[in-house]
């Protein structure tokens, strides 16, 4: 189907994270500095735990780039886990003589129970190390590469926090994205941001966690990405699947989303404007309630996608649970954790939307070289006009 794909490997407390990206055309300017800002954004946000003080994520490019430009071959990235030095025996690749304590206390809301049952483990660490959100550092690095490709065509990505612990933002329009990045909770509404911080502070002494909602906006996407002809080619379906693959994400909506279910059709659908009101771009709409996608195809309007992030399941005051060995009631396992990940989750969601759009972009415009992709893009844009103007 598409051409941009990636694989990641690595455990939370292993040596590091490996990423292999396939499908980039040759001739794209790419360096480690293009990836670093998003990795730093992922590590920020009020409510993060001690792990963020240990790690200083940096993605090293180990293959697929020469003298600053992609070669058309797979691009490989490596992010070292600095915490590995504390886990060399527990997470050793080779067998060890020491007795390693097993994790058997299951955490509600995590992959512990289904993962252990599916793969036949008697040690939950074999599940939780890979199911950890540490893997999202790899996704953000890959997403930064996808963004770098799309930036060549004027596509820009932003995200902001809509709510935390029931505190909702009322962001001004247009959103001041510099103010969002300066906010400790990445919120465009300063008053709501302060209340979100207070809600996080209130949960921490209780050993509890809080979730919320994040919104991703993408500008510069042309009409024509995705397709209506098969279920797995619909752009909104691909984006929704990518976002729901991220740890703790449990819901996705586009444009007015679930709110539109309570509105009349005349209030929901985006009226198409006549040619004299296109304002320099083809096929403009009076509103963008569909979030830039209709029939599984991008419309040329800004893509707007919101997602719900559940409170993370590792609690400092653990919930009652069950022991994997005995089936008897115990308190759930606890390791160092965050109180709130919503601000960082927006950065991860940006990355996964970028991956889907890069895939759809190369599916539509193709090309072994960046110049070929650019020429295909320009030729397609030239066709976006009324079939018989003035008739």
pLDDT tens digits, one per residue of 25-80: 999 999 999 999 999 999 999 987 665 566 789 999 999 999 999 999 999 999 99
* 386 in a structural domain: no
CATH code for the domain of 181: 3.60.150.10
* 390 in a structural domain: no
| Helices (H) then strands (E): counts for the chain | 11, 15
Convert 274-302 into a string of H (helix), E (strand) and C (coil): CHHHCCCCCCCECCCCCCCEECCEECCCC
Per-residue pLDDT, 129? 96
CB atoms within 10 A of CB 118: 10
Per-residue pLDDT, 281? 86
Per-residue pLDDT, 1? 41
β-sheet bridge partners, residue 66: 69
**Residues of the chain with confidence (pLDDT) below 70:** 1-2, 49-54, 391
- The C-alpha angle with vertex 366 and arms to 360 and 368, in degrees rounded to 5, equals 135
Q: The tokens of 199 are what?
A: 């809600």
CA 41 – CA 87 distance, rounded (Å): 26
This prediction has a pTM of: 0.96
Q: Are strands 65-66 and 5-9 parallel, antiparallel or unpaired?
A: unpaired
Per-residue pLDDT, 54? 66
* 389 in a structural domain: no
CA 37 – CA 361 distance, rounded (Å): 23
- The C-alpha angle with vertex 388 and arms to 385 and 391, in degrees rounded to 5, equals 130
* 142 in a structural domain: yes
**Residue range 345-381, pLDDT digits in tens:** 999 999 999 999 999 999 999 999 999 999 999 999 9
Say whether 91 sits in a helix, a strand or coil: coil
* 387 in a structural domain: no
Whether 156 contacts 146, CB under 8 Å: no
Report DSSP state, residue 217: E
CA 220 – CA 298 distance, rounded (Å): 11
* 266 in a structural domain: yes
Q: What would you measure as the largest C-alpha separation in the chain, in angstroms?
A: 83
Per-residue pLDDT, 335? 81
* 55 in a structural domain: yes
Q: Which residue range forms the structural domain that includes residue 18?
A: 5-381
* 95 in a structural domain: yes
Q: Give the count of domains, the chain.
A: 1
CA 331 – CA 326 distance, rounded (Å): 13
Residues 6+ apart with CB under 8 A from 314: 107, 110, 209, 333, 334, 335, 337
Q: The tokens of 235 are what?
A: 């752009």
């Amino acid at each position: 189907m598409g051409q941009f794909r990636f694989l990641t490997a690595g455990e939370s407390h292993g040596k590091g994270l490996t990423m292999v990206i396939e499908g980039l055309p040759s001739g794209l300017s790419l360096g480690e500095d293009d990836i670093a800002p998003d990795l730093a954004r992922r590590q920020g946000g009020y409510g993060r735990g001690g792990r963020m003080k240990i790690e200083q994520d940096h993605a090293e490019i180990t293959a697929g780039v020469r003298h600053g430009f992609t070669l058309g071959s797979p691009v490989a990235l490596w992010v070292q886990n600095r915490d590995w030095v504390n886990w060399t025996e527990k997470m050793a690749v080779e067998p060890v003589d020491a007795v390693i304590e097993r994790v058997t206390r299951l955490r509600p809301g995590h992959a512990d129970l289904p993962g252990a049952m599916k793969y036949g483990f008697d040690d939950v660490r074999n599940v939780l190390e890979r199911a950890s959100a540490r893997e999202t550092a790899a996704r953000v690095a890959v997403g930064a590469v996808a963004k770098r490709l799309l930036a060549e065509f004027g596509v820009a990505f932003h995200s902001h926090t809509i709510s935390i612990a029931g505190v909702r933002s009322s962001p001004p329009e247009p959103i001041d994205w510099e103010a969002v990045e300066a906010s400790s909770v990445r919120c465009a509404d300063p008053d709501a941001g302060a209340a979100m911080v207070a809600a996080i502070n209130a949960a921490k002494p209780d050993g509890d966690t809080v979730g919320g909602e994040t919104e991703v906006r993408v500008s510069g996407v042309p009409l024509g990405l995705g397709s209506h002809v098969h279920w797995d080619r619909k752009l909104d379906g691909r984006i929704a699947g990518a976002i729901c693959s991220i740890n703790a994400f449990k819901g996705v909506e586009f444009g007015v989303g679930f709110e539109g279910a309570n509105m009349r059709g005349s209030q929901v659908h985006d009226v198409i404007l006549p040619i004299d009101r296109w304002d320099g771009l083809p096929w403009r709409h009076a509103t963008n309630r569909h979030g830039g996608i209709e029939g599984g195809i991008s419309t040329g309007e800004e893509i707007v996608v919101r997602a719900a992030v559940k409170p993370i399941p590792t609690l400092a005051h653990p919930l009652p649970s069950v022991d994997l060995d005995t089936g008897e009631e115990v308190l759930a396992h606890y390791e160092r954790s965050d109180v709130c990940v919503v601000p960082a989750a927006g950065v991860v969601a940006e990355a996964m939307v970028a991956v889907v759009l890069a895939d759809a972009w190369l599916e539509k415009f193709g090309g072994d070289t960046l110049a070929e992709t650019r020429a295909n893009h320009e030729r397609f844009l030239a066709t976006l006009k009324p079939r018989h103007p003035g008739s």
